[in-house]
Each structure stands twice: as structure tokens, then as C-alpha cells.
């Protein structure tokens, strides 16, 4: 180390190293400035604000204590009272809803039974109608057959009579 200092002391590089150190301390070393700002901030904070924060914290502590000791137990008791009443009301409402659902289910079942009865009645009516139609068709077919036979007989008689006149 001494050799360097001695060698650097007599050399022309020493002023350059000194200038570089000065530039570094001015441009890059911010510790003195920051320490001064911190001292100024602390001084201003202590002088101007005083004990205001302490009073605010004391008020907050008192408010929290009062809330924990008085307000919270009252709220808990009111909640328990109202919660039990609300629970009873919910149970009653649930029972009413169950009864309504049962009634609705029964009504749907009755309606489904009525619908099935109507459908069966309609099917029976349709089958009866179709039987009637078949009977009527059979009657019409029979009448048509008889009419055809009568016409055949009539035409055969007319041919016989015509055959008598043709022989003239």
C-alpha cells in the first residue's frame, strides 16, 4: 500500500485520481444529502406535529376499549335474540313451503289422473267411433252390393226383353 501511495504521490496521475474522487463524492455519493434531509424531516415532524399523533392513538385506544367492553356485548346479545327469532321464522316459512309443495304435488297428481281418465275416455270414444264407421261401411257396402245385384237383374231382364224385340 505504501509503495502505491509513494508511487502515486509523485506521479502525474495523482491530480486525476483526486479529481475523480471529488466527482464521485459530488455526483454519486448522496449519503450526506440524504442524512441532512432525514434530520430536517425529523426536526419538522417533532416540532410541528408535537403530540397530536399520541392523542389520536390514545383516542383510538379508548374507542376500541369502549367498543370491546360495551358495544360488542350488546351487539352479540341483540344478534343472539334476533337470530333465534329469525331462525324460528325461517323454520315456520320452511314448513309452509313444504305444505305448499305437497299440495302442489297432490294437485299435479289429481290433474294427471284427470288427464289420463280423459285420454282413456277419448281413446274409448275413438274406438267406438271407428267401430261405428266400420259398421256403416259394411252397411253401405252391403247396400251397394244389393243395388249392384238389382241393377244386374234389371239389366239382364232388359236384355231379355230387348232380345224379344230384336227377334221381330
Percent of all residues in the chain with a pLDDT value above 90, rounded to a whole number: 42
pLDDT given at position 9: 52
pLDDT for residue 3: 45
Ranges 16-25, 45-54, 92-101, most confident: 92-101
Q: How much is the pLDDT for 51?
A: 67
Report the distance separating Cα 165 and Cα 168, nearest Å. 6
Is the predicted pLDDT of residue 76 greater than 50, yes or no?
yes
- Kindly give, in sequence order, each residue whose CB lies less than 8 Å from that of residue 14, ignoring residues fewer than 6 positions away: 8
Higher per-residue confidence, 167 vs 39: 39
* pTM attached to this predicted model: 0.37
Q: What is the pLDDT of residue 142?
A: 95
Q: Where are the domains of the chain?
A: 50-167
The backbone region for 50, taken as left when phi is positive above 0, alpha when psi lies in -120 to 50, beta otherwise, is left
Three-state SS at 142: helix
Amino acid at each position: 500500500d505504501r509503495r502505491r501511495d509513494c508511487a502515486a504521490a509523485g506521479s502525474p496521475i495523482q491530480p486525476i485520481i483526486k479529481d475523480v474522487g471529488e466527482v464521485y463524492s459530488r455526483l454519486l455519493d448522496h449519503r450526506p444529502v440524504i442524512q441532512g434531509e432525514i434530520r430536517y424531516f425529523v426536526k419538522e415532524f417533532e416540532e410541528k406535529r408535537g403530540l397530536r399523533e399520541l392523542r389520536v392513538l390514545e383516542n383510538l385506544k379508548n374507542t376500541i376499549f369502549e367498543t370491546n367492553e360495551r358495544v360488542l356485548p350488546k351487539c352479540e346479545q341483540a344478534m343472539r335474540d334476533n337470530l333465534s327469532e329469525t331462525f324460528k321464522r325461517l323454520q315456520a316459512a320452511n314448513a309452509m313451503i313444504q305444505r305448499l309443495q305437497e299440495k302442489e304435488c297432490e294437485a299435479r297428481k289429481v290433474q294427471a289422473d284427470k288427464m289420463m281418465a280423459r285420454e282413456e275416455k277419448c281413446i274409448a270414444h275413438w274406438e267406438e267411433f271407428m267401430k261405428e264407421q266400420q259398421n256403416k261401411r259394411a252397411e253401405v257396402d252391403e247396400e251397394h252390393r244389393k243395388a249392384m245385384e238389382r241393377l244386374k237383374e234389371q239389366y239382364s231382364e232388359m236384355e231379355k226383353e230387348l232380345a224379344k224385340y230384336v227377334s221381330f
